[in-house]
Amino acid sequence: MQILKSGGDTLDAVVAGVNLNEEDPEDTSVGYGGLPNERGVVELDASVMHGPTRRAGSVAGITGIRYPSRVAKLVMEQTDHIMLAGQGALDFAKVWGFPEENLLTERARLAWIAWMQSRRDRNGGNTWAPGIDAPDYEPRAGLRRQFPNATEREIAWALDVTQNPPTGTINCLAMNTKGEISGVTTTSGLAWKIPGRIGDSPIIGAGLYVDQDVGAAGSTGRGEENIRVAGAHTIVENMRHGMDPKQACLDCLKRIVRNFNGDHRKLNLFDINFYALRKDGAYAGAALWSGGARQGGYWAAPRFAVNDGDESRLEDCAWLLERKPQ
Ligand code: ASP
């Protein structure tokens, strides 16, 4: 918002905004500190779109670079391409002076090891966990010994994410007083993914889409379902044809429901959210489910942050399906 207020570009503003999440070690779903793939490597996806010049850039499966959104912006600005992936994306970032660093924090390493140790076969064996001859066969005690600085809360969290791989991403859309729109989406993707798995976030039209004539949209949540409906593009097209941002997002969520023939048992296995900003300043967030439920706990529908110049606030997402407390 400071960048926007001082007359800066909308894309500079959104990238600076998400850089805060990318560098935050406490955020385990974006950038540095993100949960790794199944081999313990943090692989990041990001995309940007600049409305006024109608350009886009993205990186997929990039490792070792703390700010993938900045690299995506450089792909847009300094190449004749739109998307770079894996080693090529890393080499490109290094050419432009980005330091290569280990993005796996101790917290994320704790969770990764806990996840590897949780994968017992049906006889209880696991090559990454203490053997059957070990006097102490209990994962919590072993983790406590190996990570003496971890708090009980961190260990409980690590054990929880082994069973419930967390998702999380940040999408940020901005419009300035001239009506110029830009957007960014950045993530470490799905925890414990197969190396090389690419989510929706770096895919232009899925995790992000901006059309200066209409508006912008982005997504967080299960990327595979978003890719199948080209979510962000679908939402922008819905708005082009007259829907308001909320209707546009809910309609896209209906397509996801359709892909499962409305089978709530399967739909209940994931969450997905969309966010939309229309050229006239109208906006909305919408979630597939009214809330979440896990292990007896229940939480309300997701919220999204809005800042229209004064201060930021959280607003509730609309939702399509009601998830009752279990
Ligand atoms: N959309 C991200 C992905 O599928 C993850 C998430 O937002 O939870 O990679």
What would the pLDDT profile of 204-231 be if each residue is shown by its tens digit?
999 999 999 999 999 999 999 999 999 9
For 2, 5, 131, 174, the CA distances from 279, given in Å and listed in that order, are 21, 18, 60, 10
Tell whether the model's pLDDT for residue 138 goes beyond 80. no
Prediction pTM value: 0.95
Catalytic residue among 28, 63, 169, 187: 169
Q: Which residues contact 301 (CB under 8 A, 6 or more apart)?
A: 287, 289, 290, 291, 316, 317, 318, 319
From 198, 200, 208, 219, the mutation candidate for ligand 1 (largest count of ligand atoms within 8 A of CB) is 200
CA 193 to ligand 1: nearest atom = 9
Exposed/middle/buried for residue 240 (C-beta within 10 Å: 0-12, 13-18, 19+)? middle
Ligand 1 geometric centre to CA of 188 (Å)? 8
Mutate to test the pocket of ligand 1, among 35, 167, 188, 229 (most ligand atoms within 8 A of CB): 167
Domain with CATH 3.60.20.30 in the chain: 205-326
- Predicted local distance difference test score (pLDDT) of residue 127: 77
What's the CA gap between 77 and 71, in Å, rounded? 10
160 three-class SS: helix
User: What would the pLDDT profile of 236-278 be if each residue is shown by its tens digit?
Assistant: 999 999 999 999 999 999 999 999 999 999 999 999 999 999 9
Q: State in Å: Cα 35 to ligand 1 middle.
A: 12
Q: What are the tens digits of pLDDT across the range 103-124?
A: 999 999 999 999 998 887 766 6
For residue 185, the CA-to-ligand 1 centroid distance in Å is 10
Residue 8: the pLDDT is: 97
**213: closest CA among 276, 278, 274, 275?**
278
The predicted pLDDT at position 326 comes to 60
CATH architecture of residue range(s) 205-326: 4-Layer Sandwich (3.60)
The reply to whether ligand 1 has any atom less than 6 angstroms from the CB of 28 is: no
User: Could you give the CA distance from residue 86 to residue 176 in angstroms, rounded to a whole number?
Assistant: 33
What is the whole-number distance in angstroms between the Cα of residue 125 and the centre of ligand 1?
A: 31
Q: Is 169 a catalytic residue?
A: yes
